[in-house]
Copies of this chain bind each other. A is one copy, B any other.
Amino acid sequence: MIDVRELKDADVVVAFVEYAILVVVKMMLMSVTTAFFRIKKKAFANPEDVATVGKGEGAKKYLRTDPDVERVRRIHLNDLENIIPFLLVGFFYSFSGVSRSTALWHYRIFVVSRVFHTFAYLIPLPQPCRGLSWFIGYMVTFSMIGQLGLVYYRMP
């Protein structure tokens, strides 16, 4: 029987899993952040959720959109749009025979750029803070794609 940990690139793959978990946890925390802001700002999307705040006709006013809630929801969607491609590409990348230090720097910069992006979006910091942190993460994924292209397209 073959153990996954005997794979040639196993140490890079393990490093990838560590960073992947970090960034997945960061993305998943947006769910509770949205819930927190919905309760704090009393802005709900569903009539059955409003029932937890109040009853009767007076509760209907909490069925509304709120700028802060929408902001958190945009962060979450931006995470889905950027973190999931990173995870899919980064997984293949970890098997591509790349050196451990090159891979680690890609993973580290991406995780830091996304954590900074979240705070830049949430506070919010003046532009181009958020735009730049988004762009750095975007470029990390494209850098991995470029290296993957060189490795895979050359194969027989």
Q: Which residues of A contact B (CB under 8 A)?
A: 1-9, 14, 17-18, 20-21, 24-25, 27-28, 30-31, 45-49, 51-52, 70-71, 74, 76-77, 80-82, 84-85, 87-89, 92, 95, 121, 124-128, 130, 138, 141-142, 145, 148-149, 152-153, 155
Contacts and interface: CB of A to CB of B under 8 A. Distances in A.
Most B-side CB within 10 Å, residue of A24, A49, A95, A145: A24
Given A71-B46, A127-B49, A152-B14, A145 B81 contact: no
B5 A1 contact: no
A46 B73 CA distance: 12
A92 B6 contact: no
A11 B145 CA distance: 19
A58 to B, nearest CB: 18
A91 to B, nearest CB: 8
Given A8-B2, A18-B153, A153-B18, A27 B127 contact: no
How many copies of this chain does the complex contain? 3
A17 B107 CA distance: 19
Contacts of A71: 46
B17 A152 contact: yes
Contacts of A95: 4
